[in-house]
Structure 1
Amino acid sequence: MSQSQSTENNGKEVQGITRISVQGFKSLYNECSIEIRPLTILAGANSSGKSSIMQPLLLMKQTLEATYDPGALLLNGPNVGFTLFEQFLPSFAGTISTDIFSAELEISCKKSIKIQFQKQLSKEIEINKTIYQENKATLTVFAGMNRSDVLSLLHQRYVDRELGQIFLKGTGEMVDKLEWSIVRERCFLNIDCKSIGYTEVGGEKVEVPVTLYDSRSGTSLFESHIRKLIHVPGLRSKPERTYPTTAVGAEFTGIFENYVASVINYWQQKKDEQLIELGKFLERLGLTWKIIAIRVNDVQIELRVGRLPNS
């Protein structure tokens, strides 16, 4: 796979998720990466890894969108359904070859996050470690980090600044008063590092709390992009006479099928040109040339289509 570039041939900067890497998931024993561009098509034979490269992302999506905290991963949800962690671990001759899998996301060819999941002896799925790549720095967060580990992380965070040398030496008041906490938040492992600094108030030095590094500022960006994914399953249920009324916004929780009627109704109300484009695409597919939404009541929307040819 060729190295990602920050711009396309037309000079426009690539936005959103630009690379997905997966290792230890189903058919992908070794790490496999794909670049994501405005149009990316995955094609291949059965068991060639098409679903294996995408399903970890869908697992994270349904974990973040759950109405309760399901732990590090929600295995059985609206986007992907598993009942055992072992069901998606690689196996050879019927024997599971690893108990760890990892998923890595890259945003706009600049920042990346790699999350390693493992099933513990307690039968719970845990985040083994999280690796952040930002501004050429590699920041690794894992449960049970000691002072030396945290100082190493902060040195990497501030390697090009004077603070970096302070954390490298490991001495000084800022180091002595260093505090940190590591918390799992859904499918992310976050670290919050604090210490003290000084400011002048009325000519006197006053001690003030200082946040040295809070990884939530990074994970919130990745969470936002994962939540904005639109999942259209390959296998869909039979057409209904009416569809539920839903909100139309930047995020579509669960599968997109539930939102189709409301999106069409929204375009219809706004007289959006995308509705005309939708009709053209459906006609090109030989399905219909026009589709309209009729609001039946406050909770149901009916979709009606025109016949072919135009009638």
Structure 2
Amino acid sequence: MFNRLRLTNFKAWQDTGDVVLKPVTMLLGTNSSGKSTLIQSLLLLKQTVQSPDRSIHLNLGGDETNDIFNFGDFDNVLRQGTSNPRQFSLSFSFQSHADLRVKEGDLFCSYGQNSAGGVVIQDWLLKTNVHQFRAVRREKGAYSVTVNDESQPRDKGRHLAPERSVSLSAEAIAKLGQDGTTLEDLSLSIRRELENIVYLGPLRRKPERDYVWNKANPGGIGSDGHRAVDVLLASALMKREDQNRIIEGVSKWLVRMKIADKLEVKQLGRSTRYEVVIHRAEVEANLRDVGIGISQVLPVLTLAYLAPSGSTIMLEEPEIHLHPLAQSVLAELFVELSQERNVQFIVETHSEHLFRRMQTLMAKQKITPSDSAMYFVECKDKTASMRQLELDEFGRVKNWPEGFFGDALGETREQARLMFTRQQEAKV
């Protein structure tokens, strides 16, 4: 799980400060304010550690098949107006429950440009509670590496350049001796934490009328959710101990959202093709023929059950095309599955209904402020800013932003005024 995130000079963010991340973290606020950037920063590191090029410092994307995002070039990431130095940085803290030697630690990377315009690490720091490893770029692309509080570097040279933002070369690790083993363990834990991020974007593919099942078990659903039905087919048709676990979990939440009574996979004749059928009010219909809201929330529900324990699930606008009650129930999904399945949810949303239900869940003691974090993000003068909403044990917001979800009291006041005016006019 990620405990903390900080960005400096990254897109609209001059400095986020330390953003505390909890098992359920919600990012709310205005359009184009920088909410998605907070999620994308960690996805940028994820696609970097998954790059086939070990020597790469930061993978800004461009491979449509393997990369999650195409960030463009260095200047597209660097905050406009940044100078002296022209650098941006990413840092985070994590805590893992996986069977790894290093359970928690921190990463810090500052990035600049080389003479050819490529992205290079300027300052690199990995640390645990007792160990610290640092690589600093010097002249002509050489790096010096220090361990803990040593005043003199262990070594200097171009061969000490960090790899994929999370590790050093095998040659550099060998020169660190026993400390190199600790660094390898820490790098592995960081890599696993980033690889365990699963992401679903706001634009999801429309469903097909039927699907071919190739008897495979997909490892993911894709950032647009296009493989969600493949996961459901595997859940229903593969003979294994947890057969139907995912499809039953998805059906349960569709019922709680009151948008379906059951979800079912049906074979079309004796072919290898299958359809997804939605049951509601004693009527069954192909997924293609029901409201768009069901097909759009299906990947959200599927991912919540597919993601392995210990994963961080990042969602953008999970509520799209859902009616208010269904949006509210999403809050219950995040709270319950974060606890039951040990997964972390980081959610970017515009839904007032989702947020209000989170308040209610706090009042009901289904979740505590220590297990959740809410942020309001806005952008002024081309600079993003945020405030952490302070909620008490009853879900009441102590530092409510002006115009957070519009002016509900003002709307009520205006309606009352207009009603009174029209009643007076009618009497005349």
* TM-score, with length taken from structure 1: 0.68
Q: What SS does structure 1 have at the residue aligned with 2:59?
A: coil
Report if the CA contact (8 A) 2:7-2:13 is conserved.
yes
Report what 2:126 is aligned to.
Answer: 132
Judged with a 3 Å threshold, the aligned counterparts in structure 2 of structure 1 residues 135 and 295 are, in CA distance, closer, same or farther, namely: farther
1:227 to 2:216 alignment: no
Q: Deviations over 1:193-220 (max 9, x none)?
A: 5469xxxxxxxxxxxxx44325332121
1:19 to 2:12 alignment: no
1:117 to 2:111 alignment: yes
Report what 1:10 is aligned to.
Answer: none
Q: Deviations over 1:158-202 (max 9, x none)?
A: xxxxxxxxx6699xxxx8xx7985243223352635469xxxxxx
Report what 2:77 is aligned to.
Answer: 88
Report what 1:291 is aligned to.
Answer: 263
1:29: Cα distance to partner? Answer: 0.7
Instruction: State how 1:293-308 maps to structure 2 within 5 Å.
Output: 293=265, 302-308=274-280
1:154 to 2:140 alignment: no
1:231: Cα distance to partner? Answer: 0.5
Distance in 1, matches of 2:222 and 2:49, equals 10
1:182 to 2:160 alignment: yes
Judged with a 3 Å threshold, the aligned counterparts in structure 2 of structure 1 residues 302 and 27 are, in CA distance, closer, same or farther, namely: farther
Q: Deviations over 1:236-268 (max 9, x none)?
A: 22223437855445xx49526243123223332
Report if the CA contact (8 A) 2:10-2:88 is conserved.
yes
Distance in 2, matches of 1:169 and 1:233, equals 46
Backbone CA RMSD of aligned residues: 3.6
Report if the CA contact (8 A) 2:205-2:224 is conserved.
no
Distance in 2, matches of 1:149 and 1:187, equals 15
Distance in 2, matches of 1:240 and 1:126, equals 43
Distance in 2, matches of 1:89 and 1:188, equals 21
Judged with a 3 Å threshold, the aligned counterparts in structure 2 of structure 1 residues 294 and 61 are, in CA distance, closer, same or farther, namely: farther
The one-letter amino acid of 2:78's match is L
Distance in 1, matches of 2:167 and 2:108, equals 11
Judged with a 3 Å threshold, the aligned counterparts in structure 2 of structure 1 residues 90 and 135 are, in CA distance, closer, same or farther, namely: same
1:135: Cα distance to partner? Answer: 1.5
1:50: Cα distance to partner? Answer: 0.8
Of Structure 1 and Structure 2, the greater strand share is in: 1
Report what 1:206 is aligned to.
Answer: none
1:265 to 2:238 alignment: no
Judged with a 3 Å threshold, the aligned counterparts in structure 2 of structure 1 residues 144 and 283 are, in CA distance, closer, same or farther, namely: same
Report what 1:38 is aligned to.
Answer: 23
Judged with a 3 Å threshold, the aligned counterparts in structure 2 of structure 1 residues 306 and 237 are, in CA distance, closer, same or farther, namely: closer
1:233: Cα distance to partner? Answer: 0.4
Distance in 2, matches of 1:243 and 1:66, equals 31
Percent identity over paired residues: 18
Of Structure 1 and Structure 2, the greater helix share is in: 2
Judged with a 3 Å threshold, the aligned counterparts in structure 2 of structure 1 residues 179 and 256 are, in CA distance, closer, same or farther, namely: same
Judged with a 3 Å threshold, the aligned counterparts in structure 2 of structure 1 residues 189 and 276 are, in CA distance, closer, same or farther, namely: closer
Report what 2:88 is aligned to.
Answer: 101
Higher RCO, 1 or 2 (CA under 8 Å, sep at least 6)? Answer: 2
Report what 2:14 is aligned to.
Answer: 29
